[in-house]
Amino acid sequence: MKSIIKKLTETFGPSGFEKSVRNVIRKEIRDHVDSIKSDKLGNLIAHIKGKGTKVMLASHMDEIGVVTSYIDKNGFIRFSNVGGFFPVHSLTSRIIFENGRIGVIGEERRKSMSDPVEMTKLYIDIGARDRKEAEKLVPIGTFGCYERGFEDIGKRIVAKALDDRIGCAVLIEVAKRLKRKVKNDTYLVFTVQEEVGLKGARTSAFGIDPDIALAVDVTATGDTPEAKKMAVKLGAGAAIKIKDWGIVCDPKIVETLIRIARRNKIPYQFEILERGTTGATVIQLTKGGIPSAAVSIPSRYIHSASEIVDMDDVEAAVKLIVKFLKTDQGGLKNNR
């Protein structure tokens, strides 16, 4: 899987500019599904025909980024965030713009190094000598994202945009292993604009109107020095979400995932995420309501240029979802 993860994470794709990512996924998955299409918003929807419960799985294609908002007389660029762009993670990081131009994030002098890093104090240096040159190279309204290559460090990998290209990679691998043999009518959805409001998950769920849904995304960990206490760590298995700030996951789906994991000896752990959410939050509220849950891949340094995941957790997520889809989930349709 590492080769496709590398390809996905090194592809340009901030919110609203998912086209290149979508093209990569389409090529990888088209021979493993019965049909594939893009909707009006840009979501990529793959269908594996089944006679049972209509199940939707959703991973988002977009990554956090920036958009240029002002250029000063010396050619330094001010910018706005696209999604959860954390200033503290960004100093001296490289940014690549949609036209391929590279810049470096700098900051104004702070009165004290103990002062917080503030977005309003940051700028991007693209090597321009003045405003006129900068405007030609990177006009106002140009989108960009982190520029950082994929690194294979054994059982673990480092890359930008693992949130949520790792979820996309999981769904691609799921499709390949299913070989079009499912017990449920299965939709694998690669959504747009999650980082700016869960938009693609909302519209695609409305169009598909599934019986049940699973989001596949990253989650934080509590396994680094003096980290906030959280019962999730790298290498302990797929994280079955119980709750985050946007959703209480459907208990029957959670119970089913736990049962499948135990029966098949798939490593798993429980996720309660105090900050952050996934597309499951808006899928749950679509139309008359859709029972929803999530399977997460633990990740360190989320929303930075160097996120880390463990391939054993990725493998556990793939196995869990494959087994879930190969089991008739008719009992989850009307679970009240």
Please compute the mean of the pLDDT values over residues 90-98 and round it to a whole number.
Answer: 96
**pLDDT tens across 259-275, in order?**
999 999 999 999 999 99
Name beta bridge partners: 77. 71, 124
Confidence (pLDDT) at 334: 65
pLDDT-derived band at 237 (thresholds 50, 70, 90) equals: very high
The residue-averaged pLDDT of 54-77 equals 98
- Domains of the chain plus CATH, in order, are 2-63+160-332 (3.40.630.10), 65-146 (2.40.30.40)
pLDDT at 335 over 60: no
- In our burial notation (b when 16+ CB lie closer than 10 A, e otherwise), range 120-149 reads eebbbbbebeebeebeebbeeebbbbbbbe
Sequence-distant (≥ 6) Cβ neighbours of residue 115 within 8 angstroms: none
Strands 77-82 and 268-272: unpaired
- Checking if the pLDDT of 22 tops 90, the result is yes
Distance from C-alpha of 56 to C-alpha of 51, rounded to nearest angstrom = 14
- Reported as a single tens digit per residue, the pLDDT across 300-327 is 999 999 999 999 999 999 999 999 999 9
pLDDT at 333 over 90: no
Instruction: Please provide the average confidence, as pLDDT, over all residues in the chain.
Output: 96
281-319 burial, b at 16+ Cβ within 10 Å, e below that, comes to bbbbebeeebbbbbbbbbbbbbbbbebbbbbbbbbbbbb
**Count of CA atoms in the C-beta half-sphere (13 A) of 162:** 29
Check residues 311 and 112 and name the one with the higher pLDDT. 311
* CB neighbours of residue 264 within 10 Å: 11
Residue indicated by tokens 């160097």: 306
Query: For residue 260, what are the CA distances in angstroms to 8, 24, 155, 291, 308?
Result: 29, 31, 24, 18, 27
Closest to 239 in 3D by CA, of 173, 293, 174, 304? 293
184 close to 329: Cβ distance less than 8 angstroms: yes
Query: Residue 199 has what pLDDT?
Result: 97
Q: Which amino acid is at 215?
A: A
> What DSSP element (H or E) covers 82?
strand 77-82
Type of residue found at 19: K
What does the pLDDT look like over 280-304, one tens digit per residue? Answer: 999 999 999 999 999 999 999 999 9
Sign of the C-alpha dihedral, residues 98, 103, 107, 113?
Answer: positive
The residues carrying an active-site annotation are 194
- 68 burial class (0-12, 13-18, 19+ CB within 10 angstroms)? buried
* Mean per-residue pLDDT, 180-208: 97
Residue 335 carries which DSSP code? -
Report the predicted TM-score, pTM, of the whole model to 2 decimal places.
0.96
Please check whether residue 173 is in contact with residue 103, taking contact to mean a CB–CB distance below 8 angstroms: no
pLDDT at 336 over 80: no
Summarize pLDDT for 39-64 with one digit per residue, the tens: 999 999 999 999 889 999 999 999 99
